Structure formats: structure tokens, C-alpha cells
Amino acid sequence: MIEMMIEPITTSEAPTAPERVDLLGLSRERLAAVLAPVVDKPFRVKQVYQALYERGARDFAEMTELSKELRVRLAARFRIGLPAVASRHESADGTCKYLFRLHDGATVEAVDIPDNGRHTFCISSQAGCALACTFCVTGYWGAGRNLTAGEIVAQVLAIRADRHLPAEGLNVVFMGMGEPLLNVESVRGAVEILTEFISPHRITVSTVGILPGLEEMARWERRPNLAVSLHAPDEERRSAVMPVNRTWPLAELLPALRRYPLEKGRKLTFEYILIRGFNDSLRDADQLSRLLSGLKAKVNLIPVNPDPVLGERMVPPDDDRIEAFKERLRQRGWIATIRRRRGDDVSAACGQLRAFGREARGFRGKGAGQP
């Protein structure tokens, strides 16, 4: 104890300036509160808000609608916390994968998927994922931390800035790394901001079905679309590939989804990964159809993307079998689509996002003997 007390305080770093407050992630009200001591007129708050989120300004210097003096004052106290682009890989099909480095060194991936002039941004809600689904590379690498609302919104703004895209016409899907409903407060904050410039109909939250999170989401004012990762038509098989099913089994998930408030004309989306010989038979399609009966829903079939870390069983069915599965669902009256594989050549496809390169040295993922 004494030794600790007399230990000299040494630091190799120069004293740092007081931390500037990050404006990204603040709601309109919060922004008004933190800007109040600095701005001269209330409408300046709206100008800053629009510059930040609608225009995606990276710097106060870009906010030329404000006086020079105000820009300097803002820059002295605040920052715009856009993440650094650690790497960027563009696929032959135009899909572009970003690795962002956050202020504490955590890294997250996000993907821009262009399609006929439309862009869908697939963004992360956590750096890593604790759910350990057996088919997903993010889960293989293990848990990370929750992102803040600002860190979520910043992914959208950073990709937009890099790709020079306007806010109009964008789709955003929470299908990157992490489980959005295990970080429900940040996701709510991010959705609140994103829906200022993107319609909630163009935003989709994808979840394994965390029931307390679903109950929260049911109360949101501007609700995005809901996609549920199902992947198997019965408890036993779902638990085998998604350990979370033991906590929130289908027997509780389906009734919760039947209670979930859907606006008129909207549908739930069910994501169903097709794994050869595991869940891809016509009987499975029938069982899936029975499971969903009574729900307003469509089914998105996703041929599993194999990855060396996932082992040899994660193989997609042949095209004929995938087609036959889809047709069977259609015969039973469901809207069923097959998700095309995108960004495959840069490991940007579904379930291939990881916080660390596979080659990362010294990182002890599950495969490296971590419990």
C-alpha cells in the first residue's frame, strides 16, 4: 500500500486539452442543450443539426451557413466523431466493405451494397457479438462492446461521405456485426436520428428475437421494419445453431411476434439461412410454413456463406434445391425471396463480418482456445 502511495506520478504524454464533446449521436433536444451556451440564436441549432445529419458535414469549417466566428467557437468545444476508415475493400460487384476504427481502438465493419442506383448500408450495432451462432463469423470471434448511438449513426454518415451520396433513397439495415436488441438504447437513439432523414420504412432492424428488446421496440414511435433471424423450423435444430434459442425459444418468440404491432400494409421479414442437409428439405419448408401461420410475413432465404472458420458443415444447398424450397413456400402462400450473395470476394457477405482480420496475430478468438 505504502509503495503505491509514494510511487511518483509519471506520464509520458503531454497534458491533454479538455475533451471536446462529440456532437454525433445527440438527438435534436440534446444538441439544443449542449449548444445553448455557444450559439447566438436558436435556429443555429437546426442549422448544425441539418449540417451534421442531412448533409453529413465532417468538419465545422464546412458549415459555411454559420459565421466564421461561430464555427471557430464550435470547433473549440465540440467535435464531429466520424470514425477513421481503417480499410476499405471494393468488390467486383460494387459492394464496398469498410472497417472503421473507433476512438478506443475497437473496430467494426459496415457494408455499402449498391443495387440499380439504390444503396443499402449494412451497419453494425456492436463491435463483435456474444451470441455465437454456429454459422456466423462475427459470433465465432466473440463478444465485443456495445456501440453508442453516435457510433452507429456515424457509420451511415462516413459511408455517405466516402461515396458522395445524398440521404435520399438510402436503405439502412442493422445486419452487420452484433445483436441490435442487446443494445436497444443505442439503437433507439440511432433510429431516432436516422429517421429525421430516412423514412422508417427504409430502415430494418434484424434480430435473433431478444424478447425484452422486442417489447421495447414495440413501444417506439417511429418503428423501423423488423426482420427476425429464424434459420430452423423447430426448437431442437434452432438451438443447435443458435444457442440464444435456449433463452428465448420459438415457443415464446412466435407468440411475441403475433402480438407485435405492425402498421397497416407492413410485414415482418423472416431470415432463413439454408444449410445443405440441415434445414433445406421440402418437409422443412412445410414445417416453416406451419410455424409462421397467421403472421403477416415474408421469408428471405439466404444460402449459407461458407467460411473456413465455420468448419465443413456450413455448405449451401444446390440451386435447384434452393429454388424448390422457395417454390414450396410460395405454394403455401408466402412471399419468399432468395438473397443474392454480394461482396463475396471481399468477405463482405452475410455472416462474414469480423472485427479482426483472420490473420490478426495474437488475437485469441474462440478457435484459439478461448473458453
Q: Please report how close the Cβ of residue 350 comes to ligand SAH at its closest, in angstroms.
A: 3
DSSP-derived letter for residue 308 is G
Point out the catalytic residue in the list 129, 133, 136, 350.
Answer: 350
Active site residue 350: yes
Identify which of residues 155 and 229 has a Cβ nearer to ligand SAH in the complex: 229
Which among 96, 109, 122, 129 is annotated as catalytic? 109
Q: Of 56 and 189, which CB lies nearer to ligand SAH in the complex structure? A: 189
Q: Does 305 bind ligand SAH (CB under 6 A)?
A: yes
Q: How many residues bind ligand SAH (CB under 6 A)?
A: 15
Considering the complex, state which of residue 195 and residue 229 has its C-beta at the smaller distance from ligand SAH: 229
* Helix, strand, coil percent content, the chain, rounded in steps of 5: 35, 20, 45
How many separate helices (H) and strands (E) can be counted in the chain? 12, 14
CA–CA gap between residue 117 and residue 239 (Å, rounded): 39
Closest CB 25 distance from ligand SAH, rounded Å: 20
109 a catalytic residue: yes
**Among 278, 281, 272, 348, which residue's Cα sits nearest to residue 315?**
278
Rounded to 5°, the CA angle 28-267-338 comes to 110
Closest C-alpha among 255, 271, 348, 266 to residue 303: 271
The secondary element (H helix, E strand) that includes residue 337 is strand 335-338
Query: Per-residue contact track with ligand SAH, 193 to 232, x per CB under 6 A?
Result: -------------xxx--------------------x---
Min dist. Cβ of residue 93 to ligand SAH (A): 16
Taking the C-alpha atoms of residue 105 and residue 55, their distance in angstroms, rounded to an integer, is 27
Q: Shortest Cβ distance from residue 309 to ligand SAH (Å)?
A: 10
Q: Pick out residues in 344-363 that bind ligand SAH (CB under 6 A).
A: 350-351
Q: Which of 81, 69, 207, 275 is nearest to 216 (CA)?
A: 207
CB of residue 325 to ligand SAH, shortest distance in Å: 15
Q: Site residues for ligand SAH, window 136-165 (CB under 6 A)?
A: 136
- The answer to whether 157 and 82 are in contact (CB under 8 A) is yes
> Of 81 and 144, which has the nearer Cβ to ligand SAH?
144
Beta-bridge partners for 274: 303
DSSP 8-state symbol, 360: -
Which residues belong to the active site? 109, 350
Query: Which positions touch ligand SAH (CB under 6 A)?
Result: 135-136, 175, 179, 206-208, 229, 271, 273, 302, 304-305, 350-351
